[in-house]
Amino acid sequence: MAEIPDDTAALLQLLSASGSAVFLDFDGTLVDLAPTPDGVRLEAGVVDALLVLARRHGGALAIISGRPVAQIDAMLAPLLLPVAGVHGVERRDADGRLSVVPTPDVSAVLARAQALAERHPGLLVEHKRGAVALHYRLAPELEQLCVQEMTAAVQACPGLLLLHGKMVLEAKPATTDKGSAIAAFMAEAPFAGRRPVFAGDDTTDEAGFAYVQGAGGHGVKVGSGPSVATLRLASPDALRTALLAALEHIQKE
């Protein structure tokens, strides 16, 4: 297996640069993946680093996640950052205004996913605003069955798109993604006019990488796997190392 490049030093420079706008995925990026979504843990010092970085960039730091905004707030409490949740379905800007895009009816997809999970206890279903996620991390042998069921369910519901993530399949509105969420932030203060940097770990983050690099910034892929991102880190721990190093660098200035 080829060694994963370590661009921690390059990311540290981007995080510390005064003209950056910083966008971070949550699961698999800020925190290590866990068997269940509620099993993740935030390492000590990360909230402090995010607070200092947000101040450094005049508030131009946002979380771009598949989780709902309320879950991100609970994980980062007492810190309240600009957040795009459910891949951009929900978005809270730097002034605290929450906007929600119209979403298709996902009740049929939810019912099919729940019926499948009832037959296979290792599966976990998440119902979000306008989206349904089916996790099979605890039952990886059911991947093909999950793909078949979720594909059929989404095909029967116009306006939905099926995302294939790390041990998860998510039906979400086709009109939103992490790239469009970042673009919306970049059209507003304090993000406008800055160079965007986005770190993420999954296929769901590729739209964000493509957008920021088209805007003259950098995508940072965390972990292995093909990606359009220009920078690469081995793990969430490497991302946290860069964050804490940026915190130390800024505090010494």
Cβ neighbours, 10 Å, residue 118 = 10
CA distance 71 to 52: 21
Phi, psi (deg, nearest 5) at residue 4:
-75, 125
Residue 25 falls in the annotated catalytic set: yes
Q: What SS3 string covers the chain?
A: CCCCCCCHHHHHHHHHCCCEEEEECCECCCECCCCCHHHCCCCCCHHHHHHHHHHHCCCCEEEECCCCHHHHHHHHCCCCCCEEEHHHCEEECCCCCEEECCCCCCHHHHHHHHHHHHHCCCCEEEEECCEEEEECCCCHHHHHHHHHHHHHHHHCCCCEEEEEECCEEEEEECCCCHHHHHHHHHCCCCCCCCEEEEEECCHHHHHHHHHHHHCCCEEEEECCCCCCCCEEECCHHHHHHHHHHHHHHHHHC
CA distance 144 to 32: 25
CA distance 144 to 148: 6
Instruction: Name the catalytic one among 6, 7, 25, 237.
Output: 25
- Positions annotated as catalytic residues are 25
